Each structure stands twice: as C-alpha cells, then as structure tokens.
Amino acid sequence: MALRAALRGLLSCSSHGRLCASSISFSQRNNSSSAHLKVDHDQTTGVAVMHMQSPPVNSLSLDFLTEICITLEKLEMDKGCRGLIITSSQPKVFSAGLDILEMYGKSPERCGEFWKAVQEMWLKLYGSNMVTIAAINGSSPAGGCLMSITCDYRIMADNPRYSIGLNETMLGIVAPFWFKETMVNTVGHRNTEISLELGLLYKPAEALNIGLVDQLVPEDQVLSAATQTMTKWLAIPEHARQITKSMMRKSTIEKLRSNREADIQNFVNFITKESIQKSLRMYMEMLKQKKA
C-alpha cells in the first residue's frame, strides 16, 4: 500500500526542468508577483494569499525556492501583512516537494546551494511572525508536507485521491533532523517514527486522525475556510501570540540555525553518493514509465 501510495502521490520531478514564465497573472488586489507565485495581498484585512503556480506540480526547484524566500521576506517585513495563506494554483497538487532534478547529476556546490535554499524556506516559514495557514488543495508529499507543517494551521481538501506525508524514505533518501523535529512537534514521536521509517503518505482522513492536518473541508472550500480561520487567528492579541509561537518553536529553529553548514555538508555527502544517485535515477525512470 505504502509503495502504491508513494507512486500515486509523489511526482516531484518537473517534466521540463526549466522555469515556465508564462504563468504570471494579476488579480485585482495583487500587489506582488513573480514567475511562479501569485500573491494577493488584501491591505484591508492584512492577509496575503500566496498561490503557487509552478507547472506542473509546484516542484521546489532552486529557482522556485528562491522566489518563495524572497516573497516571504517581503511579506514578513511588510507591517501591513499579518497573515499568510499558502495554496496552489495547480490542479490536484499542493506541492510535490523538492525537485528531484536538483538532486540528480548536480555538482556538490549546486547541491549545497539547493539545500541552503530549502533550509532558508523552512527557517522563514517555521519562524514567521505572521499567522501562517496551509490551504492544502491537493497532494502534498515530502517537501510539500514540510511546507504545510511549518504553518500554524492546516486545512486540507477532503478528497481521498490526495495524500500528504514525509515519504522521502520511499525514494531512498532521508528526511533531515529538522524535517523530523517539525513532524514530531506536529504528530508526536511514534507517529513520526513509523511515518518516516515507512515513508508513509496519508489520505486526508488518516492525516486528520493523527493530527497531520487540522481540518478537512470540501475541495472547493479550502481557501474560504482558510480565510475564515485566519480571521479568528488575527483577532488574538498579536504580540502575545508571536512571543508564544516563538517560545514553542525556538529550540527546534535554533538547532538548525546553529548547524546549517554541517547540515548542508551532510546532505551533499549523502546525495552525491553513487548508490543514492542510482536510486534517484531508478525512481525517475519509474515515474516516466508511469506517465507513459
């Protein structure tokens, strides 16, 4: 079951491998936009909605991660932005996670640069002063799940064809300690242990059951439910909420912040191993055959 689920859910390898710039769009309230992100920032409510639109499956490439980090930085600095909703413009997928093409056949330097960007995204999201809500309107494996569990709250589409989980092990790679700790902080030690050892992907109902997501709603109500929840969170005294959030997360954040270089080296050494490269190649070939 786990294997089939992994194949169903994890399509993290973008099919072209280059950035597609045609997807920029502008909404009425949009005040920030980049190649693969559409940000609707409502100045009245102080809520920004970040739509990920990196076809086909919002794979987290180095370029896309860099865009996300720049956008997060801007919103974090903007005192008019107090809440952030993250969602997807791509059908059926929230984000397929880290782009395998960034880990296959790349130089150690490039791999290190990529990993630094993954760290940066996590640090920015997990430590954000904004209220952050993941509006998970599609499958969310691996890095997509990581993004989700850095948020303050997770609302997922109640569609049994979608799944969510840190399933890195199924690809033959290993979730680093800060992925693990974020998950432990969300669903506890035992759920994390069995989940990471087996590379499990959970159906929405299962994810709700173990606390990996907080709420399920019909697929067409994910964003509206996120907006409603955001309103409640923004009614909480802000300064006290921020200090409390920081108190809950700072030890986990500090552990990565004081070990970034070692963590990068660790990733690069692991991912550039011949055996791991071979695993990734086999995985990508399996995906190709599945598509064909």
Mind telling me the catalytic residues? 98, 143, 167-168
> Per-residue x/- marks for a copy of itself, 14-43, CB under 8 A?
------------------------------
Residues 176-205 that bind a copy of itself (CB under 8 A): 177, 180, 184-190, 192-194, 196-199
DSSP 161: T
d(CA 76, CA 71): 9
285 binds a copy of itself (CB under 8 A): no
Structure tokens at 5: 């689920």
153 binds a copy of itself (CB under 8 A): yes
Please tell me whether residue 64 adopts helix, strand or coil conformation: helix
Backbone dihedral region for residue 218 (phi beyond 0: left; psi -120 to 50: alpha; all else: beta): beta
Contact pick of 22, 79, 220, 247 for a copy of itself (by CB under 8 A):
247
d(CA 169, CA 171): 5
CB 75 within 8 A of CB 41: yes
d(CA 68, CA 91): 19
CB 90 within 8 A of CB 58: yes
Contact pick of 275, 289, 291, 292 for a copy of itself (by CB under 8 A):
275
Closest distance of CB 80 from a copy of itself, Å: 20
Closest distance of CB 234 from a copy of itself, Å: 11
Q: How big is the site for a copy of itself, counted in residues (CB under 8 A)?
A: 47
Name every residue whose Cβ is closer than 8 Å to that of residue 66 and which is 6 or more positions away in sequence.
117
DSSP 188: -
- Shorter beta-carbon distance to a copy of itself: residue 1 or 21: 1
Name every residue whose Cβ is closer than 8 Å to that of residue 57 and which is 6 or more positions away in sequence.
11, 12, 14, 90, 93, 95, 96
> Per-residue x/- marks for a copy of itself, 154-173, CB under 8 A?
--------------xxxxxx
> Per-residue x/- marks for a copy of itself, 210-239, CB under 8 A?
-x--x-----------------xx-xxx-x
Structure tokens at 52: 């990920």
- Shorter beta-carbon distance to a copy of itself: residue 53 or 182: 182
Binding site for a copy of itself (CB under 8 A): 1-3, 152-153, 168-175, 177, 180, 184-190, 192-194, 196-199, 211, 214, 232-233, 235-237, 239-241, 243-245, 247-249, 275, 279
